[in-house]
Amino acid sequence: MAEFLNIKSISKNNRLLGIPKPKHPLITLVRHKDVDWTHITHKNLIWNFYQITLKYHNAELHYGRQNYDFEEGSLIFTAPNQVISTGEAPTEIDEKAWGLLFHPDLIRNTELGQKIHQYSFFNYEANEALHLSEVEEKTILEIVAKIEHEYSQNLDQHSQTLIVTNLELLLNYCLRFYDRQFYTRTHKNKSIVAQLETLLLDYVNDNSRLQLGIPTVSYCAEQINISPNYLSDLLKKETGKTTKEYIDYFLIEKAKTMLVSTKNTVTEIAYDLGFESSQYFSKLFKKKTGLTPVKYRNSVN
């Protein structure tokens, strides 16, 4: 069984990787060619900080059930306390590969710290990486260079603001580039939307599954084989709805049909759709339609 290593600080990280002490206690840029990888092979690693990692691939990658080939750089994002399992040490390290690590304490009392959760790509799976064009990679590298330059100088009263400002700029560009990635793969995205529709249809037609409750975001993402955050962001681009909103929409549309085509009570319909209570079902129905289930049935009939 692989050993668990909890890496709580940037300094401990650098010692583990066999590289010099960080110039700043809360942020550092690690160039992969300088790392002694033997210390972190076959481990379960838990870093207590955020990481943005630029890797290079010349092989097939997987997005859900779809396959892609990329030769550009790929950005992978991880958040504190995620478990990352490692295998053998890499035999070849690209000169351009790096990782930008920053501790939550760096941004805790800043505006960025208050909204860091909005950058949902920190919770994507590795196979949902951001694939950069040459122009996009150049933009990213320029910002990272500014961050490295700033924390490498003698720190003054402006250092914190400039580091965090550039870090937020970096994350905002990553948001833009992810939007581009969603947009350029819209035909693949539509396939995932179709998979979700089929999944939900099968779910509501299977009484044994409905007895477990309404389908959750995690359940849907697992069945489609992508992460919950990626699924929600992808759906938002394609349909204007998050996964939770899409599930609610699907159930309410099904409920409308049942209200019109059957004589079942509201309570029976609620339970038939997997809701734990008719009160919650009625509240959601009114929120989405502006009418209670009974008023909707009467208005149609």
Architecture of domain 3-184: Sandwich (2.60)
Residue 279 structure tokens: 């009160």
Confidence (pTM) = 0.80
The pLDDT tens digits of the residues spanning 11-26 come to 999 999 999 999 999 9
**Smallest Cα–Cα separation from 125: which of 74, 72, 91?**
74
Please compute, for residue 139, the number of CA atoms within 13 A of its CA located in the half-sphere on the CB side. 14
> The dihedral of CA 37, 38, 41, 47: what is its sign?
negative
Cβ partners under 8 Å of residue 63, min gap 6 = 127, 128, 185, 188, 226
What pLDDT sits at residue 1? 55
Highest mean pLDDT among 40-44, 203-207, 283-287: 283-287
**Smallest Cα–Cα separation from 160: which of 122, 78, 103, 121?**
103
Residue 204 — very low, low, confident or very high, per pLDDT cuts 50/70/90? confident
Mean pLDDT of the chain: 87
Q: How far apart are CA 43 and CA 83, in angstroms?
A: 10
Residue 64 — very low, low, confident or very high, per pLDDT cuts 50/70/90? very low
The CATH number given to 187-300 is 1.10.10.60
Residue 2 — very low, low, confident or very high, per pLDDT cuts 50/70/90? low
Region 239-265: mean pLDDT is 92
Q: Which residue has the higher pLDDT, 130 or 5?
A: 130
Can you list the alpha helix ranges (DSSP code H) found in the chain?
10-17, 111-115, 134-152, 159-184, 186-204, 207-210, 217-224, 228-239, 243-261, 266-272, 278-289, 293-300
Whether residue 75 contacts residue 53, with contact meaning beta carbons closer than 8 Å, is answered with yes
Q: How far apart are CA 90 and CA 58, in angstroms?
A: 14
Residue 212 — very low, low, confident or very high, per pLDDT cuts 50/70/90? confident
Region 25-46: mean pLDDT is 88
Domain map (residue ranges) of the chain: 3-184, 187-300
